[in-house]
Each structure stands twice: as structure tokens, then as C-alpha cells.
Amino acid sequence: MKRAVLETGGPAILIGTDCPAIEPSDLTKARIALNDYPVVIGPARDGGYWLIGVREYKANLFQDINWSTETVLEETLTRAEQENLPVHLLRELSDIDTEADWKEWSG
């Protein structure tokens, strides 16, 4: 994530490839939100997120997060608050991490 954000040289929006419910309008909303907020997050139902957008790289936002756990979103929000970075939250979506997730999503 660090590399992706740093290589853009400016605002960056990163999305998970395991969230089939993402729509083009979600990306538009994230891009627009970055005009008013330094951080935008699309929360996932499992406690992580399916999208994070930042105006610029902030190391503390990404370091020492317990990735792939139900606390990723909570930890990231705490880090943003510590850095005085207001966060805009998008709609909550489900991502697909397990076979059960896939079965639930595919109906």
C-alpha cells in the first residue's frame, strides 16, 4: 500500500480485488470525498475495508496494523484520529475472504 500511494505522487485510491459489489459510483464518491477529507474508507462487514483513499502518504496510517483481522478498520480509524486526519466513510460492503463468503455472495 505504501508503494502504491507513494508512486502516485498525490491522491491515491486503493481497492480490494475481493469485493465484487464495488460499483463505478463508489470510486467516484471516493474521489470526490478526497476533495474535503484527507482519508476516505469503504468499510467491509468483516471489520476491514474494501477501499482506502488518501491525499498523501502517512506512514502511521499503515504501519503495524493487524492485517486480515476484524480490527483493521478500527485500528486505521484510531490512527487517523491520532494524526488529526478526518475520515469520510463510504457504504459498507462485503468482501470475499472465504468459501462461505463466496457462497453467501453468489447466492
- Number of domains, the chain: 1
Contact 47, 95 (CB under 8 A): no
Query: Domain limits at 94?
Result: 2-106
Averaged pLDDT, groups of 10, the chain, 107 residues long:
86 92 97 97 96 93 90 96 97 89 82
Residue-level pLDDT at 53: 97
Residue-level pLDDT at 69: 92
Grid cell listed for 62: 499503515
| Domain of residue 21, CATH code | 3.90.550.10
Residue-level pLDDT at 100: 85
Residue-level pLDDT at 88: 98
Whole-number Å distance between alpha carbons of 90 and 63: 22
Residue-level pLDDT at 1: 85
